[in-house]
Amino acid sequence: MAKWLFKSEPDTWSWAQQLAKAPAGEEWHGVRNYLARNNMRAMRLGDQGFFYHSNIGKEIVGIVEVCALSHPDSTSDDPRWDCVDIRALRPVTRPVSLAMVKADHRLAKMALVTCARLSVQPVTDEEWRIVCELGGVEP
DNA sequence: GCCAACGTTGGC
DNA sequence: GCCAACGTTGGC
């Protein structure tokens, strides 16, 4: 299973809101970037991802799972924009901050660091394991 | 198909 | 709130 990372400004959509929608899940709409969209198109049911709070917090706060394959974004009339649905699985024991990620040389190549503006990112298996370790949660 | 202008993201 | 980075748009 591939691993991913989803960014959201908690002002707009927070982990608490995502958690409140579990287990049904929620459409990850609003992405208007080709690379982020292509990442969502590549997702499979059961793929897991980190839920990251951008701007406020700047930390990974939970783990989500893809529960619907890529489909047209209901918030757009433009057929270019698709998105998946995700549901909250569990919070991390300790939030993993951007500063912690940057401070860990093993995570230097993480997209969170190298592609700061990409809102839906791939995560390698090794990065997944290390972030889970930092967050005190089972990979 | 290039590239300048513009808009947005997101860390600080 | 600022601004750097960078993705997108649109004129040529």
Provide the number of structural domains found in chain A.
1
Q: What is the predicted pLDDT for the residue at A92? A: 97
Residues 89-128 of A with CB under 7 A from strand C: 115-118
Q: What is the predicted pLDDT for the residue at A77? A: 79
Q: What is the predicted pLDDT for the residue at A45? A: 98
Strand C nucleotides within 7 Å of a protein CB? 5-8
Q: What pTM does this model have?
A: 0.95
Domain that holds residue A60: 3-135
Q: What is the predicted pLDDT for the residue at A134? A: 97
In this complex, the nucleotide whose C1' atom is nearest to the CA atom of residue A118 is B9
Q: Does residue A56 approach strand C to less than 7 Å at its CB?
A: no
Q: What is the predicted pLDDT for the residue at A43? A: 97
Q: Does residue A33 approach strand C to less than 7 Å at its CB?
A: yes
Residues 67-86 of A with CB under 7 A from strand C: none
Q: What is the predicted pLDDT for the residue at A80? A: 87
The parts of chain A modelled with pLDDT lower than 70 are none
Say which CATH number the domain at A36 has.
3.10.590.10
In angstroms, the CA A86 to CA A65 distance is 5
